[in-house]
Amino acid sequence: MVRSGTSARFSDAALAIFVIAIAVMLLIPLPTLALDLLLALSIAFSVLLLLVGLYIPNALSLLAFPSLLLLTTLFRLSLNVASTRLILSDGDAGTVIEAFGTFLIRGEVVVGIIIFVIVTVVNFIVIARGAGRVSEVAARFALDALPGKQMAIDSDLRAGIINAQEAQQKRELLRQESQLYGAMDGAMKFVQGDAVAGLFITCTNIVGGMYMGLAQGMSVEQAIKTYTTLTVGDGLVSQIPALLVSICAGIVVTRVAASDRSTLGRELGAQLFKRPILLVLTGVILLVVMALSELPWLPFLTIVLACFAAAYYVSKNSQTNVVEYGARVDGFPTRALGVPQDSYERTHAGQTIELVLDQAVLFKLYERKATPYHEWWRRFQRDFFARTGLEMPEMVVSADPYLASGSYHVRLGDASIERGGVLLDSVMVEMNPHCAKVFGLRVLRKEEHPLRGEQVFWTRASLSSLEILRAADICYHDFFEYIALRVGRYLQSNPEEVLSLIDIHAK
């Protein structure tokens, strides 16, 4: 706790120093070495922010993003002012700006200016304006849907579907969502204004630099070469981080995650490359285009071979998993999870639990064989009935290729009752996370026990970890048992879902 408080105080102090430094850079000249270091820091932070945007599951995972946009924009503008002061006063703005200008121009001033203008236009018109429009629409929809979502939470609370704590958490998420999109709508104006300010500063540097060069006795050609090189380098070293931040903003505001633990890369892979026939058709179309035109064959043939190889890999992987797209897996869910094949016709539609799994999760069930899960499910049904007096419905398993890796979805009849994600190759240990170090176990994730509410944790299902848990007689559950426990929690909180008037009169 002390360490956490110290870290928080250090973060607050660092942020205050950073903001003060931005104001100081607007007033006090910087040495070229300090400017080089700060420009490198600006580029590094922009790359970091872009990678964070690629890995977060949704915009709510980066609530500080609007403030980050403001701070990074002010930081870049302060660096622009500092570099402009050095360019106009000394004709030297450090090695970073000079290297950017020299590398890009390569002796051609017009080429450098055109490339700078293109980068700026792409940033301002294409990315920043598009992301700003998405933010505006998202903010409007979030605010319009706010009353309905609040009423839905209150309705679920009154119906007993969620408890007071869960309702409070949902209200907090709703508040964060509405405030985030509202702030993003305004924060994107900073990005657009940054691009316009960059163009203005560049034009000022070129005109002012030529005037200063001529005043110092330089020839027109020398003044143009010196100050245009520095100006274009300054503009690029400012616009490239701005472009990366704009891309990150566009990714964040357009992110629609399948689950709370999915990333953009996983979803793209799951949604674009799950059907090998589409990859084959893409390769065939490219072959036809290549044959009917005079296009160079080497690049297109390379892409065609890559498409065919990817289709073969995806097809082979799908056959290994024995999963058909969008289809129920025959044989396995019925026999493995305790429901005879001929019993579904006699089971009421509302008395069947359908467990929809990601293909990777379903493949784990196949790898571990059906019999242990069949026996565990039967024991769990008996224990649940003995504890609550409720008969646990039977279960059927199906696969959904569009679920993110490790995700699951549970339906009772036509109603969705549970959705989430599990850690593959891990187990949930029924032990307080603070005791994990005593047994040499690594805590991957902490949470509450689905049924009892006590603190538990997830750890890797390695041979050594499982041996330790068995030797210490500590109860643990794999991902299937964990999902079953969460289903049990829902049915325990909502007995009306499995009880009918016939059951009540019979009892």
* Chain segment 149-164, per-residue pLDDT in tens: 888 888 777 766 677 7
d(CA 209, CA 91): 8
Same domain? For 241 and 313 the reply is no
Same domain, 403 and 455: yes
Whether 111 has a pLDDT exceeding 50, the answer reads yes
Same domain, 55 and 183: yes
Per-residue model confidence (pLDDT) at position 328: 33
Domain for residue 293, yes or no? yes
Pairwise CA distance, residues 54 & 52, whole Å: 5
Map tokens 């794999």 to a residue: 478
Q: What Å distances lie between residue 80 and 23, 267, 393, CA to CA?
A: 13, 38, 66
Domain that holds residue 194: 17-256
Say if residue 271's pLDDT is above 80: no
Say yes or no: 139 and 279 in one domain: no
Q: Can you state the angle between helices 65-90 and 164-215, rounded to 10 degrees?
A: 10
- Domain shared by 301 and 220, yes or no: no
**How far apart are the C-alpha atoms of 399 and 264, rounded to whole Å?**
21
Find the distance separating the first CA and the last CA of the chain, reported in whole Å: 52
Q: Which of 130-134, 233-237, 315-319, 465-469 has the highest mean pLDDT?
A: 465-469
Q: Tell whether 33 and 120 lie within a shared domain.
A: yes
8 belongs to a structural domain:
no
Instruction: Give every CB contact of residue 82 below 8 A, 6+ residues apart in sequence.
Output: 25, 26, 29, 30, 35, 38
User: In total, how many domains does the chain have?
Assistant: 3
Residues 336 and 308 reside in one and the same domain: no
Residue 268 lies in a domain: no
Sheet with strand 352-357: strands edge to edge: 394-399, 352-357, 407-412, 415-421
User: Rounded distance, CA 363 to CA 423, Å?
Assistant: 14
**Angstrom distance (rounded) from CA 395 to CA 374:** 10
Tell me, yes or no, whether 11 lies in a domain: no
Shared-domain flag, residues 184 and 293: no
Where residue 48 falls among pLDDT bands split at 50, 70, 90?
very high
Residue 327 lies in a domain: no
In contact, 195 and 128? CB cutoff 8 Å:
yes
In a shared domain, residues 172 and 309: no
- Rounded distance, CA 56 to CA 201, Å? 34
| Contact partners, residue 182, CB within 8 Å, separation at least 6 | 139, 142, 143
Q: Do 294 and 165 belong together in one domain? A: no
- Whole-number Å distance between alpha carbons of 193 and 80: 14
With pLDDT > 90 as the criterion, what percentage of the chain qualifies?
2
331: pLDDT strictly greater than 60: no
Question: How many DSSP H helices and E strands does the chain contain?
Answer: 17, 8
Reduce the DSSP state of residue 371 to 3 states and report it.
helix
One domain for residues 420 and 482: yes
Both tokens assigned to 80: 């622009």
Give the pLDDT mean for 82-110. Answer: 76
pLDDT grade for 205, boundaries at 50, 70 and 90: confident
Kindly report the pTM of this predicted structure: 0.60
Predicted pLDDT of residue 423: 80
Residue 1 lies in a domain: no
121 and 56 in one domain? Answer: yes
Q: In this structure, how many other beta carbons lie within 10 angstroms of the beta carbon of residue 269?
A: 14
* 53: in domain: yes
